[in-house]
Amino acid sequence: RAEKKAREEAEAALASYQRLNGGTGPGGAGKKRVGVLKRRQSSQVDMRRARIKELSDDVKRALTEREGDMENPFVRMTSDLENQFDSLLGEFMQQLLRRSLLQHNSHLSNLCTRLDYNGFYTK
């Protein structure tokens, strides 16, 4: 049984190999088919590269273009969010420092030190 199954698998593998090579031995139509497959794969890779380049150019253009005299909406929104984050974090740090001083809580003062190690937000 095992020999029969192994023989069938070997015959199936040989048949699929011959089918891929066009039924010929070494050389001939099999090499032509491999060449066509390689060309097709390289053209797909080239198409993918072109598509990715086009998308990246679109993103760069969207991030750098301006609307008249106004700055880019993406840049404006990012700077607004940065300002809002800085102000809210500064308020939070001041409240945290105040609580740590009022409650004499070492955990809160350690947390303040770790969150604002260089004193940027508690100026």
Residues 22-77: tens digit of each pLDDT: 655 555 555 555 565 666 667 778 888 888 999 999 888 877 777 666 777 888 88
Burial of 72 (0-12, 13-18, 19+ CB in 10 A): middle
SS3 66: coil
- Residue 17 scores a pLDDT above 90: no
Same structural domain, 61 and 78: no
Residue 106 has pLDDT above 80, yes or no: yes
If one counts every other C-beta atom within 10 angstroms of the C-beta of residue 112, the result is: 21
- Indicate if 119 and 77 belong to the same structural domain: yes
Q: What DSSP designation does 24 have?
A: -
**Distance, CA of 31 to CA of 34 (rounded, Å):** 5
Mean pLDDT of the chain: 77
pTM: 0.46
Whether residues 8 and 59 share a domain: the answer is: yes
Of all residues in the chain, the percent with pLDDT exceeding 90 is 10
**Host domain of residue 88:** 72-123
Tally of domains in the chain = 2
Residue 3: predicted pLDDT: 76
The answer to whether residues 8 and 47 belong to one domain is yes
Please tell me whether residues 43 and 99 are part of one structural domain. no
Of 19, 46, 65, which residue constitutes the final position of a domain?
65
pLDDT value, residue 85: 93
Residues 76 and 16 both lie in one domain: no
Q: In terms of domains, do 50 and 102 share one?
A: no
